[in-house]
């Protein structure tokens, strides 16, 4: 009984220490971007990281799913998972390496599906300053639900208080708090300022 109590105390101490270290690492990255949605997360995460690096912002990216990779600022990719099962705690090592690599920004593809895991990603593991919500379609019926509204509500849980939010469609308008809803954006004015051909879509 005493041995079990000691082991439990050690495990709890280790857990608190890991949490404290992770908060320190996340705080050292000024721009933390979480990409979430039903479809397109990997592509958006890759493109966002590439754009930031091209703009001179040293950025590390992490994708998940069938292309689970860490992407360094120079474009080098590392298969960090191998044959292991996905685990939310992957974020700890990723942030540690990003900080050691001098990251000014990170782009993380959200790997959470269930509502509680969405909250954990937002409030503890990534603590994003910006959230990109690509879209909301019915998928993962067991973990999320069978309607677009429920899907949007679940995905919106990845938005912590104070984060800037960018949405890819209007499925999220009624589930995001007024304080974080995207402001009207003048597409035409922005596109006309660019030096290359673009399309509003």
pTM score of the predicted model = 0.78
Q: Is the pLDDT of residue 157 over 60?
A: yes
Q: In whole numbers, what is the pLDDT of the chain averaged over residues? A: 81
CA dist., res. 163 & res. 110, Å (int): 15
| Partners of 45 in beta bridges | none
Residue pair 129/33 in contact (Cβ under 8 Å)? The answer is yes
What pLDDT shows up at residue 55? Answer: 93
Whether 39 contacts 137, CB under 8 Å: yes
Residues paired with residue 34 on neighbouring β-strands, in sequence order? 108, 131
CATH fold of 2-183 reads 3.40.1190
Task: Flag the least confident range among 57-66, 101-110, 112-121.
Answer: 112-121
pLDDT band at 179 (very low <50, low <70, confident <90, very high): very low
Q: Which residue has the higher pLDDT, 186 or 125?
A: 125
Tokens of 128: 């994003």
The mean per-residue pLDDT over the stretch 109-122 comes to 88
Least confident of 38-47, 67-76, 124-133, 152-161: 152-161
Contact 34, 127 (CB under 8 A): no
Please report, for the chain, the start and end positions of each structural domain, with discontinuous segments joined by +. Answer: 2-183
The percentage of residues in the chain with a pLDDT greater than 90, rounded to a whole number, is 36
What integer pLDDT is reported at residue 187 of this predicted model? 55
What DSSP assignment string belongs to 9-44? Answer: HHHHHHHHHHHHHHHHHHHT-SEEEEEESSS-HHHH
């Amino acid at each position: 009984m005493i041995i079990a109590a000691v082991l439990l105390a050690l495990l709890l101490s280790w857990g608190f220490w890991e949490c404290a270290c992770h908060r320190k690492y996340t705080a050292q990255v000024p721009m933390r971007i979480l990409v979430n949605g039903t479809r397109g997360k990997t592509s958006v995460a890759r493109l966002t990281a590439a754009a930031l690096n091209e703009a001179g912002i040293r950025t590390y990216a992490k994708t998940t799913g069938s292309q689970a990779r860490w992407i360094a600022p120079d474009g080098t990719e590392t298969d960090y998972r191998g044959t292991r099962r996905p685990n939310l705690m992957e974020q700890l090592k990723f942030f540690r390496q990003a900080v050691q690599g001098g990251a000014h920004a990170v782009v993380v593809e959200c790997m959470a599906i269930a509502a509680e895991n969405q909250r954990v990603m937002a409030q503890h593991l990534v603590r994003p300053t910006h959230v990109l919500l690509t879209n909301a379609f019915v998928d993962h019926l067991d973990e999320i639900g069978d309607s677009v509204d429920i899907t949007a509500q679940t995905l919106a849980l990845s938005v912590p208080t104070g984060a800037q939010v960018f949405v890819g469609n209007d499925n999220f308008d009624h589930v995001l708090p007024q304080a974080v809803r995207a402001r009207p954006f003048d597409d035409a004015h922005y596109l006309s300022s660019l030096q290359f051909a673009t399309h509003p879509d």
